[in-house]
Structure 1
Amino acid sequence: MDQPHQPAASADWAELPTDILTSVLLSLEFPDLFTSAAVCTSWRATARDILHAGRIYSRAQTPCLFHTSPAGSELYSIAAGKSYRLPDLPGSPVADRYIWGSSHGWLVTADARSELQLLNPATGDQIDLPPIATLEHVTPVLDGAGELSRYDISFYYSAPPRKELNPPQPYGADEVREMLYLKAVLSNDPSSQQQGGGDDTVVMLIHNPYRQLSFARVGGKQWHWITISPHYSEYSDCIHHNGGFYAMNRQGAIHRYTVEGSRVSCEIILKDTIQYDAYNVYIARTPSGDVLQVWRFTDIEDEEPQEMHTDGFEVHKVDFDKQCVVPMETLGDDALLIGHNHTCCLSTKDYPKLLPGHIYFTDDAEYWLLEKKSNRRDIGTYDLADATSHNLVSSPQPWLNWPNPVWITPNFMRINPSAAGCVAGDVLTRLT
């Protein structure tokens, strides 16, 4: 007599060997890692171990939008199409900070006293940058008790003669961050350096007065003012590429700065390409190695409440040999992300959740942001091929107006993996 058919036993995913499970989870982007952790207790434990270990989870992540909501700080994942709330960081109310940069998964923030810190929202790591009193144009003024009363800001260029173009102006400690900082870019990831902060990481700061440059080393004691800038250059954007900082001024010229210790050298690698002073111009490097200039066009509505809208973009490829720029009709398979983040160009073959030929943008208008903090932020995508803009998500948008949302590529590498606590691990605990 034939034996009755026995159904195949269902797989017991909890019995999957830890080394195999770890390899699989390490290949996932963080939204999928969070989802997989809900399978069973052993998968959740392995995912938590991965995040708390920090250094082993280095999988390239699709950029997210860091923003705040009534619930707190959040990461909106383009890959997952949803936001993930981040636990509050001890002693670090992000909603009270201004955000002036985003590189390698780190935010460059300014606190209520206008001091700058690096903050990794995925791990909770924070690093203080040198005091703002060491910036060339900043002079601290003390009261009779020796306490900080205010800062005086001086107005002069690095180009000689370095005479005061305007008398020094007084600013409260909380006001300096509104007039001084414009954008900050990191040379590399501080968490990839030795434990303690990464003394090989350089921060390049575009700042007022007159959009000048200063740099500092992470873990260093002071800011170094760059005094060899070509005559009266006012910078709009900067990237780190091939061992140097490529800074572009408001006329489209590109200057390459090489930092060695506290010294810096400058090379003019592209002359002016724009016949007027432009505010919304960016520099990026494509995955294939080309350098791009991106011009952004905006419009402000007349009716109240006034809102800024991005009307369009032009993208140009830099031809260093011919000292010119060539208009591009398409980005092909690439996508651009612009705003207060370091301007980056990514291949959608490597990041399939990004839309090819699209530009992802956020607000970064110097005066509009600060004067209109309560206004709707200008965030969306732009299709370069058909010249159309779209909201990133359907209304209502989940982010508040301030601090300004910024693109960030989540970085789960920790400076000190042995330290207790991990923001990403805490998020995983709450979600699962």
Structure 2
Amino acid sequence: MAAWSDLTFDVLEHITGFLPLPDHYRFGAVCKNWRLISKQRRHPPAPQLPWLVLEDDKKTRTRKFYNLSEAKHYSLDIPELHGRYICGSSHGWLFAIDLKLNGILINPFTRECYELPPFPEWDEYTNVTTLIEKLPSDYNGEPVGYTFEKMQTLLVYKAILSHDPKEKSDFTAMIMFGMKHEPAFWRPGDSSWTVIDGLDCSMDDILYYKENFYLVAAMNLLCVVDFECKPKLVEVGIEIPIEITVGGGSVGSGGIQRFLIDFNGHMLLIERSGHCVENYKVITDGFVVIEPKLEQNCYNTWYDIDGYALFLGRNACIHVDSCRLPKCKKNGIYFTHPTETQSPIECGFHDLGVFDMITNKIMGTFYSVEVVFPKVDSPVWITPNPW
């Protein structure tokens, strides 16, 4: 048998196409020749499950990640992320905000980075130049207004990209900011965010689908961004019912959170329901998957997703083919806890786990380590993108 070190460049390069990301780095650590081949990166890594972006390790000043495929933690030295709150993930890039309320867009695996302009303000307390660390307390002893620590988690509810910046330099970043999750966009070269004229209701999620940005709001209101003249939201007009059964109960029993995803060319609207526990926290009961048919002005309800799995949270929603990833739950919905702290009373979904669309039940958690809510960043899914 020939020595591994004597394998030709073409053979070794072909092998790298079958390696998941961690093994790709291990491959490059074998010797100088293999490291050179790994740096060529002509092949993307093998299909892989998304990773979870977790909190800072304050002792080592590294950012913790959780590799779901290996059920293993990695601590990566990414100084640009230290002390920053992660408010979005898209195409393998992260949106992060520091305590001075400055935002960046960064690929954590290549450390390529874009500085973002100041985020839009929505009331007198969100002006960074007038924000103070501690405001007078009300009769309950709670601070009136916002601190920098609180604003860090409230400025941006979610952020996504139209394209991978490494593939298209004229990409668009879209955020939902403020109490009503209003939409605003930025493109490289812009000196500020452009706020989009919205509707008098709070937005839940945003999706780039077939060259357009779509948002879903309360009452299942679906809108598209019209960039002509002054950017504005336009209602799509599809009527989708609110009262849909999940696990034998009503979706509205304890709160609804909506997600949008481009699933192999189909726009899907996913509803998350739950029940309230102490301090208005919500624990997930189940999900319903709906396909709005834009051209027919109707909708279909999906009861499975062809063996795929969905990954929902503060990230741009991700889908993977479970048939190619045996450790992944088929027809499973992996969800994290996008908590909100907009008032002295903690609220929002405070759990993470896997929902089985076939049995219509929560199958338990995918992460065995205890997560303290809401003292750490909401875990955010990311598809590693070092290419």
Q: Do both proteins adopt the same fold according to a TM-score greater than 0.5, normalized to the shorter chain?
A: yes
The answer to whether residue 218 in structure 2 is matched with residue 256 in structure 1 is: no
1:75-128 Cα deviation digits (max 9, x unpaired): 3222333222212x23x343x222111100111111101122112211122211
Aligned to 1:295: 271
Alpha-carbon distance between aligned partners in 1 of 2:109 and 2:53, rounded to the nearest angstrom = 10
Provide TM-score, normalisation by structure 2.
0.80
Counting matched residue pairs gives 361
The amino acid across from 1:18 in the alignment is F
Q: Give the 3-state SS of the residue equivalent to 1:363 in structure 2.
A: coil
Deviation per residue, 1:213-253 (Å, 9 max, x gap): 111113421111112x3x42421101101111011111112
Give the drift of 1:66: 1.2
- Secondary structure (helix, strand or coil) at the match of 1:251 reads helix
TM-score calculated relative to the size of structure 1:
0.72
| Distance 1:107-1:93 versus aligned 2 partners, 3 A rule | closer
Q: Give 1:342's aligned residue.
A: 316
Aligned residue for 1:378?
A: 351
Determine helix, strand or coil for the equivalent of 2:16: helix
Task: Find the partner of 2:209 among 241, 255, 259.
Answer: 241
1:223 is matched with: 193
Distance 1:235 1:11 in 2: 60
Corresponding residue of 1:202: 172
Of the three residues 148, 152, 173, the one matched with 2:129 is 148
**What residue ranges of structure 1 are gaps of 5+ in the alignment?**
1-9, 152-168, 414-432
Q: What amino acid is aligned across from residue 122 of structure 2 in structure 1? A: H
How far the C-alpha of 1:267 sits from its partner, in A, is 4.1
1:14 correspondence with 2:5 = yes
User: Residues 282 and 249 of structure 1: is their aligned pair in 2 closer, same or farther, counting only changes over 3 Å?
Assistant: same
- Compared with structure 1, are the counterparts of its residues 294 and 31 closer, same or farther at alpha carbon in structure 2 (3 Å cutoff)? same
From 235, 252, 268, the counterpart of 1:268? 235
1:32 maps to 23
C-alpha spacing 1:114/1:397, structure 2 compared with 1 (3 Å): closer
Instruction: Point out where structure 2 has 5 or more consecutive residues left out of the alignment.
Output: 133-143, 244-251
* Identity rate, percent: 24
Q: Kindly indicate whether residue 110 of structure 2 is the aligned counterpart of residue 81 of structure 1.
A: no
Q: Residue 11 and residue 259 in structure 1: after superposition, are their counterparts in 2 closer, same or farther (change >3 A)? A: farther
CA RMSD across the alignment: 3.5
- Taking the aligned partners of 1:47 and 1:279, their CA distance within structure 2 comes to 48
State how far apart, in whole Å, the 2-side matches of 1:141 and 1:293 are: 32
CA drift at 1:307: 6.8
Deviation at 1:191, TM superposition (A): 2.2
Task: Please name the residue that 1:137 is paired with.
Answer: 122
Match of 1:128 among 115, 121, 129: 115
By how many angstroms is 1:377 displaced?
A: 5.6
Partner of 1:427: none
Taking a change above 3 Å as real, the CA distance of residues 401 and 46 of structure 1, as seen in their structure-2 partners, is farther
Contact 1:376/1:401, CA 8 A, preserved across alignment:
no
Question: Structure 1 residues 235-244 or 351-360, which shifts more?
Answer: 351-360
CA distance in structure 2 between the partners assigned to 1:18 and 1:280 by the alignment: 50
CA contact (8 A) 2:84 2:97 kept: yes
Larger RCO (CA under 8 A, 6+ residues apart): 1
Q: Could you say if the C-alpha distance between residues 123 and 271 of structure 1 is closer, same or farther in structure 2, counting changes exceeding 3 Å?
A: same
Q: Report the 3-state secondary structure (helix = DSSP H, G, I; strand = E; otherwise coil) of the residue aligned with 1:177.
A: helix
